[in-house]
Structure 1
Amino acid sequence: MSIERETNEPTLRRRHVLGAMGAAGGLALAGCLGGGGSNADSLDEVLDDDLEESEYETLEIAHWWTAGGEADAINALVSGFESEHPDIDYELQESPGGGGSALETDIRSRMVDNDPPSTFQTWPGQTLTTYTDEDLLFDIGEHVWESDMRDAYLPGPEEQSQIDGTYYAVPINIHRLNNVFYNVSVLEDAGVDPASLESPGDFLDALATVDDAGYTGFAQSTSTFMMVQLWAMTLLAEGGAETYDSVINGDVSGNEETVRSSLERVVEFSEYFPGDASSVSWDEANGDVIAGDAAFHHNGDWAAGQYLGEDGFDFENDWDYIPFPGTAGMYALNMDSFVFPKNNPSPNATLAFLQYVATPDAQRRFNQNKGSIPPRDDVDTEEYTDFHQRQIEQFQSADEQPPSMAHGLALSPGKQSGVESVMTAMAENWDADEAYDGIVDKLE
């Protein structure tokens, strides 16, 4: 059963539909659908060139952006879409909570019933194989990824849009994962120069110095995704992009020394976590940095939204960030994207939406509210904050753009789930040797 609620914004012709949640589980569709979804092999078979926009079926957009700046971002996006396509009706299907797991559960159920929404938010990269292995998504290369769009996307986001060279997704944002945020006053009081931290070993020394000064060194949560994210960035810092790529592609044993050292380093970092790291969320831990009780917090750039929303807590004067020590020149990627499911209830409207999502206007509107940066390099970002201006500059000059292990870009859903189970166990026993054996088992 679902609950409908009408928006109070008369300019937006839409409905919000809040889906009922089932128990969230791993998104494993392979083998359960018994076939390829739609009889149509290409978009040309389902598009109707003779339709007027007023005759399009209602566009259903499924997403999990329901809180704070995320809600503002999706509202800004559909407002822009409505301006471009005033005759297309649309409906927002909302599945909040669980870091996207609730939406995954809803999508899985609808895919099984051959009744998908028109489009839905998903991570690109290996997450897409959940659907492409069952032939549930249309190839959108010819109809969406035209030459000017390909020219405007840097290689990282464009690569993550494809599976085996076929385009299935349109990334709308980029989050950077290899950030270490810090409280300026705390580091000054402890006598730590953040610019001097060039390796995980340097970072560990800084944590010890901050601890000696009476502060929490590393304000982290040991929730599953935070643990996977921290290990992944430590591996990237210890071994570089080439080793990282080798490991996510299954060669753990061939990189044993680096993988072991990265896991051991995470154990060393944990000595400077807050005492309640196992029970707090990432934003609660990050609040200790704002309060001046802790020095550092590692996270994606969504954490900066917490700082930017804090009155009197100013970028560069009160807080700042550095790349995770050892990852200078890299921009570790997490992204959101939209896809084109087969058995689509509104093919023409869906195509219009995906083509709009790919535009500079859509990405300007969305990212300015979301706190992320656009994957196109030709978006007008004049009104973006100084923090995001710096992120954009570093993205565009990055030598490497490695994909996230923690968010479905780098690993297939089954492998990601396996790594999550290993890191969840590690957060309880802090046994690097056991974790190494688990990583070998899950990735090789």
Structure 2
Amino acid sequence: MRFTRRTALAVVGVAALLAPAACGSGDDSGGSGGKNVEVFTWWADGGEKAGLDGLVSTFGTACPDYTFVNGAVAGGAGANAKQVLASRLQQGDPPDTFQAHAGAELQDYINAGQIEDLSAQYKEWGLTEALPKGLLDNLTVDGKIYSVPSNIHRANVLWSNKSVLSKAGITSEPKSLDELFANLDKLKNSGVAAPLAVGKDWTQLMLLESVLITDLGPEKFTGLWNGSTDWNGADVAKGIEDFKKLLSYSNKDRDTFDWTDAEKLVMDGKAGYQLMGDWEAADLDAKGFKDYGYSVFPGNGETFQWLADSFVLPKGAKNPEGTKCWLKTVGSAEGQKAFNTKKGSIPARTDANAADYPAYQQTAIAAWKTATQVPSCAHGSACSQGFQGAANSALGKFSSDQNVGELQKAMAAGAKQFAKK
């Protein structure tokens, strides 16, 4: 879940408006003896808020000496939250902890010297044994680990309104892009205004990524982010053409929509499909909508595009000991169960009991163990925030001008500019 960069003036303006809520811990949060722990997230609604509430409840039991202070800033994908956070970090006013996507996205904070090494805590809390090696490898930078993951999400999931599909004569899940296009035509011919619900920038990057996984395969897709696959290739151009065709079936006001607005089109029967991460399951459940279906994006096969929400210890945090208690709770079996059963994600730990989870999470837990894993740029596991911002800007332009060549050039330029050092 990503963001679009604003001007510095806009960032400061948003920060000023939201600072009382985000910084409301007061004098009693200062120093290692303070009680308040300000937890900065973008989990303010639906299944995300329900998951946070479950984690907060566990924190209250595990860390009775500390008080949770909610620093959440609303806005899908952290659009507003990341702007406010950047301003606070620059001003030397960090929250006690903040949410960040695990993977390449953390490199920005590491390079800026804004977060602390947690390697010692990993050993102390048994996380080096509880988390899978592949995830630990992704979290490790120059031999150090800087965040504690609360979950694993799957990004490449196609959601649907089963009643809308049935009325259009669609009786099976599409297994290829051609089958998806055929189904979208059926929806359009049945009178569905927006067969495919789409939101703005980062949600379009998610959709493009899923198409590229199909057209390139998992190995070449991963190569887009590590430099081994050329963004200027003919196979990438085909992927962008397929993406352009998918947008032709979407709502015309997509660039004004957050992911939940697109989701509402599906809930209201005004759309048949939406590509979104599996936090959508918990959000739909929290909103009481049960008539939904889900499948891996057509052509992605046994590929699991992953992302992980995680928490860090900022340098200069007012209450580092309280933060460590929060981080220990986030990484604990109890904390991950309380969080993930409500948020729609699966635990990062390997000792979870699948039977404790709703139907969708059980399928995701099984797939995580066997599927080919690829990262997500839209959600920070594959690329830096700089690349995300460049990609989102390019996609915003493409949404209007539909120029395949220009989008391909822009993505290639972003990859070169923000290449991993």
Find the counterpart in structure 1 of residue 415 from structure 2: 443
Measure the CA separation in 2 of the matches of 1:191 and 1:92. Answer: 46
Residue from 372, 384, 388 that aligns with 2:361: 388
Q: How far apart are residue 71 of structure 1 and its match?
A: 2.6
3-state SS, counterpart of residue 64 of structure 1: coil
Task: Give deviations 1:92-144, integer Å, cap 9, x for gaps.
Answer: 32333353233323332332233322211111212211211122222111222
Unaligned ranges ≥5, structure 2? 1-7, 13-31, 417-421
Residue from 379, 388, 392 that aligns with 1:416: 388
Measure the CA separation in 1 of the matches of 2:9 and 2:35. Answer: 28
Alignment CA distance shift 1:289-1:345 (3 Å): closer
Measure the CA separation in 1 of the matches of 2:36 and 2:253. Answer: 47
- After TM superposition, the score normalised by the length of structure 2 is 0.84
Measure the CA separation in 2 of the matches of 1:408 and 1:283. Answer: 20
Q: How far apart are residue 201 of structure 1 and its match?
A: 2.7
Return the letter of the residue paired with 2:392: E
Find the counterpart in structure 1 of residue 73 from structure 2: 95
3-state SS, counterpart of residue 401 of structure 1: strand
What pairs up with 1:307-346 in 2 under 5 angstroms?
A: 307-311=284-288, 313-314=289-290, 318-346=291-319
Q: How far apart are residue 209 of structure 1 and its match?
A: 3.1
Alpha carbons 1:364, 1:380 under 8 Å: kept: no
Residue from 370, 379, 382 that aligns with 1:397: 370
3-state SS, counterpart of residue 299 of structure 2: coil
Q: How far apart are residue 339 of structure 1 and its match?
A: 0.5
Task: Give deviations 1:133-171, integer Å, cap 9, x for gaps.
Answer: 122222111222568423332355434423344211111
Find the counterpart in structure 1 of residue 21 from structure 2: none
Alignment CA distance shift 1:93-1:296 (3 Å): closer
Runs ≥4 in structure 1, deviation > 6 angstroms?
A: none
Q: How far apart are residue 61 of structure 1 and its match?
A: 2.0
Measure the CA separation in 1 of the matches of 2:36 and 2:199. Answer: 42
Residue from 204, 213, 217 that aligns with 2:181: 204
3-state SS, counterpart of residue 143 of structure 1: helix
3-state SS, counterpart of residue 295 of structure 2: strand
- After TM superposition, the score normalised by the length of structure 1 is 0.80
Residue from 220, 240, 254 that aligns with 1:263: 240
Find the counterpart in structure 2 of residue 427 from structure 1: 399
3-state SS, counterpart of residue 104 of structure 2: helix
Alignment CA distance shift 1:292-1:132 (3 Å): same
Q: How far apart are residue 225 of structure 1 and its match?
A: 0.9
Alpha carbons 2:255, 2:396 under 8 Å: kept: no
Measure the CA separation in 2 of the matches of 1:365 and 1:146. Answer: 22
Find the counterpart in structure 2 of residue 122 from structure 1: 100
Return the letter of the residue paired with 2:251: P
Q: How far apart are residue 323 of structure 1 and its match?
A: 0.2
2:118 pairs with 1:140: yes
Task: Give deviations 1:59-97, integer Å, cap 9, x for gaps.
Answer: 332222222333332232122122112123443323333
Measure the CA separation in 2 of the matches of 1:22 and 1:365. Answer: 39
Task: Give deviations 1:256-308, integer Å, cap 9, x for gaps.
Answer: 12211110001111221134434443333333333334322111112223432
3-state SS, counterpart of residue 55 of structure 2: helix
Task: Give deviations 1:172-208, integer Å, cap 9, x for gaps.
Answer: 022211111122233334343434x332233223222
Find the counterpart in structure 1 of residue 54 from structure 2: 76
Give the percent of matched residue pairs that are identical in Structure 1 and Structure 2.
Answer: 29
Alignment CA distance shift 1:115-1:211 (3 Å): closer
Task: With a CA cutoff of 8 Å and minimum separation of 6, indicate the structure with the bigger relative contact order.
Answer: 2
Unaligned ranges ≥5, structure 1? 1-20, 26-53
Residue from 262, 265, 281 that aligns with 1:285: 262
Q: How far apart are residue 333 of structure 1 and its match?
A: 1.5
Structure with max Cα Rg: 1
2:218 pairs with 1:218: no
Residue from 160, 168, 173 that aligns with 1:190: 168
Residue from 152, 174, 191 that aligns with 2:152: 174
Alpha carbons 1:364, 1:381 under 8 Å: kept: no
Measured on the aligned residues, the alpha-carbon RMSD in Å equals 2.7
Find the counterpart in structure 2 of residue 370 from structure 1: 343
Return the letter of the residue paired with 1:241: P
What pairs up with 1:20-99 in 2 under 5 angstroms?
A: 23-24=10-11, 55=33, 58-97=36-75, 99=77
Q: How far apart are residue 425 of structure 1 and its match?
A: 0.7
Alpha carbons 1:74, 1:366 under 8 Å: kept: yes
3-state SS, counterpart of residue 180 of structure 1: strand
Larger fraction in helix:
2
Alpha carbons 2:149, 2:348 under 8 Å: kept: yes
Task: Give deviations 1:216-245, integer Å, cap 9, x for gaps.
Answer: 463322411111111111111111111111
3-state SS, counterpart of residue 107 of structure 1: helix
Alignment CA distance shift 1:215-1:167 (3 Å): same
Alignment CA distance shift 1:287-1:350 (3 Å): closer
3-state SS, counterpart of residue 402 of structure 1: strand
Alpha carbons 2:95, 2:318 under 8 Å: kept: yes
Measure the CA separation in 2 of the matches of 1:393 and 1:160. Answer: 20
Alpha carbons 1:360, 1:380 under 8 Å: kept: no
Residue from 224, 227, 235 that aligns with 2:204: 227
Find the counterpart in structure 2 of residue 406 from structure 1: 378
